[in-house]
């Protein structure tokens, strides 16, 4: 085997071998929807904030999942109750403050109300598994996959799929 100098192109196999030596991970924002943990790729998250419930202006004649509009940094954004959008039942404590994940896909930004923001996870792509059979079939179109972590199933959500939800098509 000869030594390769930096000036010489490497064979494709050598590049793959180099990549396999480095851990390949993606980061995700982990949050809760009631008792259901979930996550979104951080590349689809603009920011996670807590905001007063009174800062959201309700809009009449909208589906229940659409909570209203918020002015964030001189931009008007829709705020959606993510659990309701996904068909999950959740009981929020009677709170004057909402936890929001600002989802950004391309030029579209949407506020997602969640129960709790739990932090950042780093996962390898191999950790994402197909949805288990007990996951509601209504959730499947919104999933990239699921992760089993410490005995619980984390829903790996797909921001692009969330934006295609039927309740959001009226926007």
Q: How far apart are the C-alpha atoms of 71 and 102, rounded to whole Å?
A: 12
- Classify 34 as helix, strand or coil: coil
**What is the dotted CATH code of the domain comprising 27-168?**
2.40.50.180
The pLDDT value recorded for residue 9 is 45
Q: Where are the domains of the chain?
A: 27-168
Q: How far apart are the C-alpha atoms of 57 and 59, rounded to whole Å?
A: 6
Which parts of the chain sit beneath pLDDT 70? 1-23, 91, 93-94
Q: What is the pTM of this model?
A: 0.81
């Amino acid at each position: 085997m000869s030594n390769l100098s930096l000036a010489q192109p490497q064979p494709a196999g050598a590049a793959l071998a180099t990549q396999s030596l480095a851990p390949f991970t993606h980061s995700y924002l982990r949050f809760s929807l009631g008792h259901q943990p979930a996550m979104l790729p951080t590349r689809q998250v603009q920011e996670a904030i807590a905001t007063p419930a009174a800062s959201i202006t309700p809009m009449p004649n909208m589906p229940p999942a659409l909570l209203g509009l918020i002015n964030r940094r001189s931009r008007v954004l829709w705020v959606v109750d993510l659990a309701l959008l996904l068909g999950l039942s959740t009981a929020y404590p009677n709170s004057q403050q909402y936890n929001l994940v600002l989802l950004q896909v391309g030029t579209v930004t949407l506020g997602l109300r969640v129960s709790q923001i739990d932090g950042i996870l780093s996962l390898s792509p191999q950790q994402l598994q197909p949805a288990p059979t007990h996951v509601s079939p209504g959730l499947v179109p919104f999933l990239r996959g699921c992760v089993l972590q410490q005995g619980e199933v984390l829903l790996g959500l797909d921001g692009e799929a969330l934006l295609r939800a039927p309740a959001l098509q009226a926007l």
